[in-house]
Amino acid sequence: MGTLLKDKVALVTGSGRGIGRGIALLLAEEGAKVVVNDLGGAVDGSGDSATPADEVVNEIKAAGGEAVANYDSVATMDGGENIVKTALDNFGKLDIVVAVAGILRDRMLFNMTEEEWDAVIAVHLKGTFTVAKAASIVFRQQRSGRIINFSSTSGLYGNSGQANYGAAKDGIAGFTRAVERDLGRYGVTVKSISQAADSRMTQTVPQSARDIRAASGITAQSAVAPLELNRAPEDVAPMVAWLASDEAKDVNGHVFHCQGGQISLMSNPTEERTLRKNGRWTVEEIDAMFAGTLGMDMANPAPPQTPCLLYTSPSPRDGLLSRMPSSA
């Protein structure tokens, strides 16, 4: 057992499987007492089961650590409060929040339903808020705490078929930058991880969707060099453990990308080029100036595609209909 997080209490949402599981196990290995939160549902958020959280708790205890399970949904205010209360009731305090819980409802925008949009926003974006809100009250009073949120390159760069997921994840990056300003004065730091790792969620993206994205030239940009990097979910955990420690007390409001053996510091949005004049620009002036200034070297990441004409052979029913007399 390590000592980096000795005497700390951590809660990790969505830690029954995948990335969250790897984080919970490593935090416990480094000495933290851990609340393992997981609703135990399917990738799309349906259903529930106590088994995933219980299994991780048993793993931690078998290795000599301390852990307790929680099965609340992060998508409600009551759920977020109950997750934090589980830490306080069982361990008497809370030092670290890691918000990993998430679901997928991938769909092209023109096919996406309101329910698919709302469900993903509720778990990712609202779910990050519900737990952070409840924890912030505790952290403010004790004047210390660590909050580590999870963004994604789908939010930072965009990815076809993930308008709901991308909006939530980019929102989490913005949430991180705002909340660090709310809580920094109280000794609380807030940061975000953008990860690339294989999990149940990535495995549900159908090959047909991958093929469409590739054929259309629409792919999520990579924050890493074009290397053959490992994508094991456990690879994200060491950076999270370090950010949760006292050693990272001055790291606040930043977004890091983790994949295999590579960790990247992501830049905040900055101005690339600026046009200035005294007074208001006219439409004609903008049209004349744009291409050689703001628009210089600007490329369309998703240019129009030539429609594919699909040929389908006539069915027997087509022939039958052609022989039927038309009605008057």
**Which residues share a beta bridge with 96?**
10, 146
* Placement of tokens 């698919």 in the chain: 116
Token output for 188? 């609380």
What angle (nearest 5°) sits at the alpha carbon of residue 127, between those of residues 123 and 133? Answer: 170
Which of the residues 157, 165, 186, 311 is marked catalytic? 165
State yes or no: is 165 an active-site residue. yes
Cβ(277)–Cβ(215) under 8 Å?
no
Burial class (CB in 10 A: 0-12, 13-18, 19+), 151: buried
Strands 255-259 and 262-266: antiparallel
CA dihedral 203, 241, 50, 88 (to 10 degrees): -150
What sections of the chain are H helices per DSSP? 18-29, 51-62, 77-91, 114-121, 127-142, 153-156, 163-183, 200-203, 207-215, 237-243, 283-289, 316-323
What is the token pair recorded at 86?
A: 């589980």
Decide: 37 and 11 in contact? Cβ < 8 Å.
Answer: yes
Catalytic residues: 165
